[in-house]
Amino acid sequence: MILDLLRHGETEQGGGLRGSLDDALTPAGWAQMRQAVATAGPWDALISSPLQRCALFADELGARLGLPVRREAALRELHFGDWEGRSAAQIMQTEADALGRFWSDPYAFTPPAGEPVAAFAERVIAAIDALAVSHAGRRVLLVTHGGVMRLLLARARGLPREQLLQVEVGHGALARLALAADGRLLEVV
């Protein structure tokens, strides 16, 4: 399976940790995503996070390409708990030590009331494994979030878990992975 990953574009609520917040895209965010896929594809299937910043663009693209869109809840963003909707600068003002621990090893520190990164990784990888079975030999576009893309790209690159948050994924970024027969993710450049 070839898996193209598309991160949603800029959202109305701006930067910060959006997580499970269901922000809408800005006009610039729509443009970022349209530009990213303008010369990409073709795809045999479209899969999307259920959050509107991904799903509404996937619906538009699916209508244009004549492909149905499947929403996959397991491929939504990490839930940041009490940190959702806050920027790193805001969190630094009151919880600098906790934010530092999260940035240095997100698997070892969970934001207050948040989802552990190990549980997030488990649900995302299980969803990708299921897609690999149901879409073997096909090209799939996954419209998703920065955290999902960081996780999958870090695995494909063989990075240690402490480097997860060092993987850069901008708004409207498009990346390609191949799923090998043995289940390994390989980055295609």
- Parallel, antiparallel, or unpaired: how do β-strands 185-188 and 174-179 relate? antiparallel
CATH 3.40.50.1240 fits 2-15+25-79+117-188, yes or no: yes
Q: Would you please indicate which residues are annotated as catalytic (active-site) residues? A: 8, 77
Q: What is the pLDDT of residue 14?
A: 76
Give, as one character, the DSSP assignment of residue 174: E
Region of 184 on the Ramachandran plot (φ > 0 left; ψ -120 to 50 alpha; else beta): beta
Q: What is the pLDDT of residue 104?
A: 94
What is the residue-level pLDDT of the chain in tens, covering all 189 positions?
A: 999 999 999 999 877 899 999 999 999 999 999 999 999 999 999 999 999 999 999 999 999 999 999 999 999 999 999 999 999 999 999 999 999 999 999 999 999 999 999 999 999 999 999 999 999 999 999 999 999 999 999 999 999 999 999 999 999 999 999 998 888 999 998
Domain boundaries of the chain, sorted by first residue: 2-15+25-79+117-188
